[in-house]
Amino acid sequence: MTGTLDHERKPLLDTLTAYAQSGIYPFHTPGHKGGHCAAPEIAALVGKRGLALDLPAMTATDNTLHPTGCVREAQALAADLFGATETFFLSAGSTLGVATAMLSAVPPGQTIALPRNIHRSVVAGLVLSGAVPRFIPHNVLSECGALGVTVERLAETLDMEPRPAAVLLTRPSYYGLAGDLTEIVALCRSRQVPLIVDEAHGAHLHFVPPGGPVPALAAGADLVVQSCHKTLGSLVGSAQLHVGNRSPIDAMQVRDALNFLQSTSPSYLLLASLDATRHWLWREGRRLFATAVEETKRLEDEIETMPGLRVLRPENDSRLRGHRRDPLRVVVNVSGTGWTGYEVERFLRTEYRVEDEMADWFNVVYLFSPRDDLPARERLLAGLRAVSSSPRPRRGDSQFIDERLLQPPTPPLALAPREAALGRKKVVPLDQAAGQVCAEMVMFYPPGIPLLMPGERVTDDTLDVCRQLRSAGAHPYASDSSLATIRVVDH
């Protein structure tokens, strides 16, 4: 873009609105013709204006493949606000952004270094790109799973042959923890290895007051993927991929990879929601998030007064030295009450009509936003008080210190993920799968960290973790939703 950027503009949203109000009748896609030909239920669902703005890529509305008009301007405004050299809007979530980043940074067959606390989208990226994973060892706390990668462990991983073509980190973690990136960025630059950060849960960090995690772009990451719908309020499925200001990956290379994966028919409602959200945040983002952080801290302080409940706070735990925490992601450890997180989740859902972001054996995780509903916050506190005042007998300390439940041992890699995922498969009972090579992803969602990925050899440890999580009420994501069977490589 040339000239001065005008953040008062909403180029994408304004372009769609102008076209919808122009009086032009759409003898073109989509088939609902701006609402004229929509089923009544669709009209009731989306609304008259939503249908009118649900337009396709065309001359009047630009396109996401090679944008020259309103899409290009809207992306440039987002890049300026977030501090990127270029930003790409995504209408298929961070999954599309992660796969794009991997395809643009890792040549087929080469190695990528990454920790185990990855989202399933990274596994999809491995299969699509043909890259081979090398997992970076990292510390684990039984209360909150994987911690940030240390520069020493990363250096050891980068020194192994074959040398990794890129590094990918998930930050912040699903428990809101983020290690410092300063030394990590310096190491990657000294080795000329691009750093990809899956910041799906951290788009809002750019707007929170000092004291929270430093955003990945500000820390110097090369490619950063953000799910704006998760924490910024855009429509579900809207995300963005940023190219850092000193990235060795050229923005055109990123666009080329993206254009192999993205649709020629993106949802313009999702794209417009990114544009409108950027405008709103440019005007009010820092004030809104500062207020939300203050309100959430007061809520945390009240939770801390409840017997048996404990809020995860790095400043209170020396084991979390070097980590900062997302101030709007509240992790409540409930193990002191004798309840599991899964039990608390079900209790508050059914009795108090509040839903969490995720639960595990030990914790329940709540995500807060600007302008959250106050009566709902009060119901949440009332529900947690009820849990605190109704302690249950402990079922054996081993259940509360088995770190495998949050960070299972990494199974050995027997085949490249692409080879295992796209080859012949057979179905075997889960209890008979030990020693076989997995041909699918097996995980419990959220958070969606794979227990098994294609190409890994099934171990007794992994099977034991699957049984424990399943019996606790966690929700398995696999081809067999009961997890009685599993697909393995058919040699």
pTM: 0.93
Q: How far apart are CA 144 and CA 134, in angstroms?
A: 23
Q: What is the CATH number of domain 74-265?
A: 3.40.640.10
Quick check: 405 pLDDT over 80?
no
- Whose CA is closest to 341, among 213, 443, 447, 441? 447
Question: Is pLDDT larger for residue 135 or for residue 397?
Answer: 135
Averaged pLDDT, 14-18: 97
Q: How far apart are CA 150 and CA 384, in angstroms?
A: 35
Residue 406: predicted pLDDT:
61
Quick check: 389 pLDDT over 50?
yes
Helix axes 11-20, 70-82, angle to 10 degrees: 150
Question: How many Cα neighbours within 13 Å face the side chain of 169?
Answer: 30
Quick check: 263 pLDDT over 50?
yes
Quick check: 471 pLDDT over 50?
yes
Quick check: 398 pLDDT over 90?
no
Q: Tokens 């070097």 — which residue?
A: 322
Using alpha carbons, list the distances in angstroms from residue 283 to 46, 276, 459: 27, 11, 52
Quick check: 401 pLDDT over 60?
no
- CATH fold of the domain at 285-401: Aspartate Aminotransferase, domain 1 (3.90.1150)
**65-82 residue pLDDT tens:** 999 999 999 999 999 999
Q: How far apart are CA 100 and CA 115, in angstroms?
A: 19
Residue 402: predicted pLDDT:
58
**29-42 residue pLDDT tens:** 999 999 999 999 99
Q: Which residues pair with 488 in a beta bridge?
A: 426, 438
Quick check: 2 pLDDT over 60?
no
Residue 165: predicted pLDDT:
98
Range with the poorest average pLDDT among 66-80, 222-236, 456-470 = 456-470
* Amino acid symbol at 215: P
The token duo for 364 is 């329940």
Q: Name the CA radius of gyration of the chain, rounded.
A: 23
Residue 404: predicted pLDDT:
66
Residue 220: predicted pLDDT:
98
**125-142 residue pLDDT tens:** 999 999 999 999 888 787
How big is the CA angle at 387 (ends 381 and 391), to the nearest 5 degrees?
Answer: 150
Please, which residues have CB within 8 angstroms of residue 225's CB and are 6 or more apart in sequence? 94, 97, 98, 101, 196, 197, 198, 199, 200, 239, 240, 241, 242
- CATH fold of the domain at 408-489: Ornithine Decarboxylase; Chain A, domain 4 (3.90.100)
Task: Give the residue extent of every domain in the chain.
Answer: 74-265, 285-401, 408-489
Please, which residues have CB within 8 angstroms of residue 364's CB and are 6 or more apart in sequence? 331, 332, 334, 341, 344, 345, 348, 356, 358
- Whose CA is closest to 278, among 15, 11, 61, 91? 11
Which run of H or of E encompasses 96? helix 93-105
Report the mean per-residue pLDDT for the chain.
93
Question: pLDDT band at 187, cuts 50/70/90?
Answer: very high
**332-364 residue pLDDT tens:** 999 999 999 999 999 999 999 999 999 988 899
Domains 74-265 and 408-489 share a fold: no
Averaged pLDDT, 276-305: 98
Give Cα 408 distance to the centre of its chain: 20
Question: Is pLDDT larger for residue 472 or for residue 265?
Answer: 265
For the chain, the helix, strand and coil percentages under 3-state DSSP, each to the nearest 5 = 40, 15, 40
Question: Is pLDDT larger for residue 325 or for residue 397?
Answer: 325
Quick check: 322 pLDDT over 80?
yes
Question: pLDDT band at 144, cuts 50/70/90?
Answer: confident
